[in-house]
Amino acid sequence: MKNNLKQHVRIQTIGSCFKLLLTIVMLSCFTATAFAAEKETIVTRPWGGEKELKGLGVKKFASTSVALKELKPGKTYRFKCNMTKVPPMSKQAYNHRMVLFGIQNKKNVQLLRLGTNIPADEEAHEINEVYTIPADASAPFSISLYNANCTGIILVEDFVITEVQK
């Protein structure tokens, strides 16, 4: 009876391990298939991937911009970075953000705003935004970092823009 019980437990354990292994293999195949459809290529690293911008005080406006000559209308890009906001910051989120600019209808317009929802808590927060540039937009494209009405600091790290190819 003891030997039968040991053998039964051993078979159950082997069966459980096999099921776990099979589940892991199936999940790996599913994940590889799901992500194989998209390919990403690094397009640019604005500001060399890192930028710090200190506010100049109340009713003052600090900004820095960089041209993005590599971007093309109708293409899809991933904008990915870590953003840290160090107080004191303006209570208005639009005062401290990143903006992608391009030309539409012969006007320089904001195409994408990034970082308005990042709290000023001295912690790094990931921005990971996929955006398709409108087909009717045109160059020059640029990205700007704004920090207004405060003396706090915005820090952007590990900034990379990749083209998402489906």
Spatial contact of 112 and 129, defined as CB atoms under 8 Å apart: yes
Question: Could you tell me if residue 135 is left (phi over 0), alpha (psi between -120 and 50 degrees) or otherwise beta?
Answer: alpha
**CATH for 40-165?**
2.60.120.260
What is residue 3's predicted lDDT score, i.e. its pLDDT? 54
Looking at the predicted structure, is the pLDDT value of residue 142 above 80? yes
Looking at the predicted structure, is the pLDDT value of residue 36 above 50? no
Q: What are the residue boundaries of the structural domains of the chain, listed by start?
A: 1-37, 40-165
Spatial contact of 86 and 120, defined as CB atoms under 8 Å apart: yes
Peptide bond into 87 cis (omega under 30): no
Confidence of residue 1 (pLDDT cuts 50, 70, 90): low
Looking at the predicted structure, is the pLDDT value of residue 27 above 50? no
Dihedral sign for Cα atoms in the order 40, 44, 50, 53: negative
